[in-house]
Amino acid sequence: MFGLEILLATGFAVAAQTEGFSQDSAKVLAAGLAIGLGLLGPGIGIGLIGYSAMSAIGRNPEARGAILQNMILAIAFAEALGIYALIVAITLALVI
């Protein structure tokens, strides 16, 4: 959420320097929204995965190895979605 706040503040600063809402400020705002909302899901998902894995290990300590292996794999998939959101945000801010 900190990145979203920084990009939104930058977008409003760019908009305040010009008279109205320019294309540059729209790009920065779009990038901020893309990364902020795009990382919200993976962040919640990784937290839930960690919570569930630790709860499962607490109930069945013998299955620790299999649980941790599946947890790390699921976290990697969730983090990949966050990386896609970062790529989209960079593309919106710099290319389009």
- The 10s digit of each residue's pLDDT in 42-84 is 999 999 999 999 999 999 999 999 999 999 999 999 999 999 9
Does residue 95 have a pLDDT over 70? yes
Higher pLDDT, 4 or 61: 61
Task: State the maximum Cα–Cα separation within the chain, in Å, rounded to a whole number.
Answer: 65
CA angle, residues 11, 19, 4, in degrees to nearest 5:
10
Higher pLDDT, 59 or 26: 59
pTM of the model: 0.72
State in words which class domain 2-94 has. mainly alpha
Tell me which residue of 35, 47, 53, 36 sits closest to 78, measured CA to CA: 47
What pLDDT was estimated at residue 56? 96
